[in-house]
Amino acid sequence: MRLMLVDFLILFAFLFLLIEAVPTPASTLETDIQERDTTTKPSSEQQQAKRIERRGGNGKPKRPGGRKKKKDEGGLPKYFHEPGGSELGNHYDSRFEHGIQDYADRKNTQLHMLRAYLTFFHENHLETWLAHGTLLGWWWNGRMLPWDWDIDTQVSGSTLNYLGDHYNQTRYDYQSDEEVSVKRTYLLDVNPAIKERERGNGNNIIDARWIDTRNGLYIDITGLSETHPDDQPGVWVCKNYHRYETMDLYPMRETMYEGVVAKVPYAYDRILANEYASKALVITDYEGHRWDPIVKEWLPKSDEELKEDRRIREEKERAEKEAEERKKEKEAEEEMHKQVEEGRKRKAKEDAKKELAKQKADKQAEVQRQKEMQQRMKGANTSGQHNHGPEHAHENEAPLGPQGGKEKSVDHTDSHKTQPPGESASDMSQASRPG
């Protein structure tokens, strides 16, 4: 009972603090959670169980609401446009692009653009954090990856709406503290489609941009929203289907990035491993650069190193191609053997069917022959019985004589009595015949 009373007092104090808290204009995910949920925080075991349940029991996050990607679901037309024409051309805003920047100009543009962005958000008490490849660069050495043309950041859905209501089309004048000659103007452009928190037709997955008005290079800003709080509470999603657990994002970690204060998600290592796989955190040779653990930088490779890399890559591709060809040949051979074996089995089955049909036909013929023999024997027996009857009817009649008349039976006893003495029966017969 005493424990229940203590728990009740703790819960009451926690609710009182939530009611008294006054959110800043730049509402964050933490503010959203407080407005939505005023219950006590579950234990770590309960949180882990809920996470696994939301991810379908296999650790993989489910698509919000079971939705599937669709290429065309209607919605607003595309707001941000890029000149295109090449992969690099897709990293410029068409309104300000004046050609592709070289390596040095691009790195300089990105450095000051990022510093200006983080400074602007910090000065206006707006929360933002590093994401995707930008977060991966921070993990290695707190700097941008030298081969990465993208700078990605994220904000909460409430912060995104606040930007749209109060800072859209803001032009920010920037001057570098280290290089006095560096003066730039940046445009914060918020997409009118920020109210649509589902992907829709895919035209407006980028919610806002921080654009260098000199050349059109930009920072992508995407918002995270709890789009399905009823069946998937605590799952925050952007329009490009990147999803995060509340416990992975908060509390945010404050750090340094490219010489200015920045924020990164609490479980940054898990987020990076889920997005890029664990090898992205350990591989030290990538995109023509190698990691130098002494200076802790990604250094561009020399021409000789690049040539050697090309040779190794070509040999690897050739070996993979040969292995693939051998695999196909083996599969073709196995398929041929399979077809031959299937043909043999099919022929054996057909032969067995034919033999069975022949045996059946022979059996039927034998049965038919037996029936016919029985019928003939039955007919012969019937005919024999019919002829045997009259013979018995005349068996007492005397046989016919030579003249067709009936021979009379002769009583040889009487004949001997009347026969004259000295005459034989033959003499008497001859004497009786006419001359």
**60-115: pLDDT as tens digits:** 444 444 444 444 456 789 999 998 877 677 889 999 998 888 888 999 999 999 99
User: Tokens for 365?
Assistant: 């013929």
Q: Tell me the β-bridge partners of 291.
A: 298
Q: Tell me the β-bridge partners of 254.
A: 263
What angle (nearest 5°) sits at the alpha carbon of residue 254, between those of residues 161 and 55? 65
Q: What are 379-411's pLDDT values in tens digits?
A: 888 776 655 555 544 444 444 444 444 444 444
Report whether pLDDT(38) > 50: no
Q: Can you tell me the distance from the alpha carbon of 391 to that of 57, in angstroms, rounded to the nearest whole number?
A: 104
pLDDT of residue 76: 85
pLDDT of residue 75: 73
For range 198-223, the mean pLDDT: 94
Q: Can you tell me the distance from the alpha carbon of 410 to that of 25, in angstroms, rounded to the nearest whole number?
A: 161
Please give, one letter per residue, the 3-state secondary structure of the chain: CHHHHHHHHHHHHHHHHHHHCCCCCCCCHHHHHHHHCCCCCCCHHHHHHHHHHHCCCCCCCCCHHHCCCCCCCCCCCCCCCCCCCCCHHHHECCCCCCCCCCHHHHHHHHHHHHHHHHHHHHHCCCCCEECHHHHHHHHHHCCCCCCCCCCEEEEEHHHHHHHHHHCCCEEEEEECCCCCCCEEEEEEEECHHHHCCCCCCCCCCCCEEEEECCCCEEEEEEEEECCCCCCCCCEEECCCCCEEEHHHHCCCEEEEECCEEEEECCCHHHHHHHHHCHHHHCCCEECCEEEECCCCEEEECCHHHHHHHHHHHHHHHHHHHHHHHHHHHHHHHHHHHHHHHHHHHHHHHHHHHHHHHHHHHHHHHHHHHHHHHHHHHHHHHHHHHHHHHHHHHCCCCCCECCCCCECCCCCHHHHHHHCCCCCCHHHHHHHHCCC
pLDDT of residue 274: 94
Q: Can you tell me the distance from the alpha carbon of 37 to that of 50, in angstroms, rounded to the nearest whole number?
A: 16
CB within 8 Å of 280: residues ≥ 6 apart = 136, 272, 273
pLDDT of residue 417: 44
Q: What are 223-261's pLDDT values in tens digits?
A: 999 999 989 999 999 999 999 999 999 999 999 999 999
pLDDT of residue 145: 95
Q: Taking a C-beta distance cutoff of 8 angstroms, is the pair 173, 309 a contact? A: no
For residue 216, give the amino acid letter: G
User: Tokens for 230?
Assistant: 């009823």
Q: What are 104-149's pLDDT values in tens digits?
A: 899 999 999 999 999 999 999 999 999 999 999 999 999 999 999 8
Q: Taking a C-beta distance cutoff of 8 angstroms, is the pair 193, 73 a contact? A: no
Q: Taking a C-beta distance cutoff of 8 angstroms, is the pair 277, 99 a contact? A: no
pLDDT of residue 15: 55
Looking at every residue in the chain, the average pLDDT score rounds to: 79
Q: What percent of the chain has pLDDT over 70?
A: 71
pLDDT of residue 90: 83
pLDDT of residue 64: 41
Higher-scoring residue by pLDDT: 204, 16:
204
Predicted TM-score (pTM) of the model is: 0.60
Q: Can you tell me the distance from the alpha carbon of 11 to that of 412, in angstroms, rounded to the nearest whole number?
A: 154
CB within 8 Å of 206: residues ≥ 6 apart = 80, 191, 220, 221, 222
Torsion from C-alpha of 25, 31, 35, 37, nearest 10 degrees: 180
Q: What are 41-58's pLDDT values in tens digits?
A: 444 444 444 444 444 443
Q: What are 253-309's pLDDT values in tens digits?
A: 999 999 999 999 999 999 999 999 988 899 999 989 999 999 999 999 999 999 998
Q: What are 140-184's pLDDT values in tens digits?
A: 999 999 999 889 999 999 999 999 999 999 999 999 988 888 999
- Count of other CB atoms within 10 angstroms of residue 337: 10
Query: Tokens 């051979």 sit at which residue?
Result: 333
